[in-house]
Structure 1
Amino acid sequence: MTSTVEVYEYEDSPELVREEAVDPATVTVDLRLPWDDPAFREAHYGEGKRQAEAVLAAAGPELPYAAVRVAHVLGGDDDFTGRLAHHAERIRTGEPIAVPVVNRPATYVHVEEIARFLAWAAGEDFTGPVNAASHGTLTTEELCEAVAAHVPDGRAGYRPVEVGEASPFSFRRSYGMDNALGFTFADARQWLPRAVAETLGKDG
């Protein structure tokens, strides 16, 4: 199954987080929660993935499975999330980008790289959780600098927020993923400019 980096949303570590930090065999599954409510699912995305992993883990060795914990995906011209576009619009209009007072970096993966990883994983025999992330963490500022390069006279400004909703790709906790298990990933800083160009187009 494709899982998510957000299973680690309660971690806050200066070190990259390894798979054993969240053991699905120890996660409680609560079927009474309103998973059929789209708003609830969106607000509890990480918890939903944790419990989905737990359901598979509970079956034991009779149901071998792999749960690919995917980093934040960037790139491609069909991004439906609007997260980079959010930053581009604020840079274009001069509106400050809301970030936590203490803003942590995160791990990312290019859309083509995660596709290659999933194709590779299908031919392997490992089971259980596995992290999928490019090397290196990126800060909100690094992402916005790459976005600003596609906006005429673009400059990013920031507005620290103590509470309330921060902008996409800004994080109050640090849970970047370790990626040491078996696949050769690229460095996020190498593909970041290309990913932004693919999503925003040359005119931002």
Structure 2
Amino acid sequence: MGRVADKLFLFLYSVAILIFSGIGLIVSMEWVAPAFAESFVDAIYMTGPAKYAAIAVCAALFLLSIRFLFVSLRKSRERSGSIDQRTEFGDIRISLETVENLALKAANRVRGVKDLRARVRVDDSGLDIQLRSVVDGESSIQQLTEEMQRGVKEHVEDITGIPVATVTVYVANVVQSQTFKARVE
């Protein structure tokens, strides 16, 4: 919904600026009798530098408005929220959120890992998955992270069929395990 509103506002802005800069350009080039536009643009007709500045500004605004108008009407080819694949049966779109959830599911299988977060980016060489985790401190961090990397890579590639270029693991903290003593009364 936000994208549609942004495009609509950009379209309306472009049309308004296009009209105003077109009128300003016509008046600055004296295509309209000075008596007709005298109340609005008296300073432009009186001084030479102001006239040329107005022509330059209006021409720039006119060109920018045409650019914005084309941008607002052009279909967006970039879909940042999904990965698109074409098969013999049709197109497949997998959201990045789906890939993040698959990565979290695979990483959660590793014992000793807590509080996971994932972020996925699409690169030319494949998926770049970044994991942020907290570990329990009972196991080797190197072994945990390597197991997470291997498990996430294999799981995401098996389920989606998309190659995973890198799996980066950031260990944010170590959680102290709490031991409870039996209370005798």
Which structure carries more strand by proportion? Answer: 2
TM-score range, shorter chain: under 0.3
Structure label with greater radius of gyration:
2
Length-normalised TM-score, structure 2: 0.24
Length-normalised TM-score, structure 1: 0.23
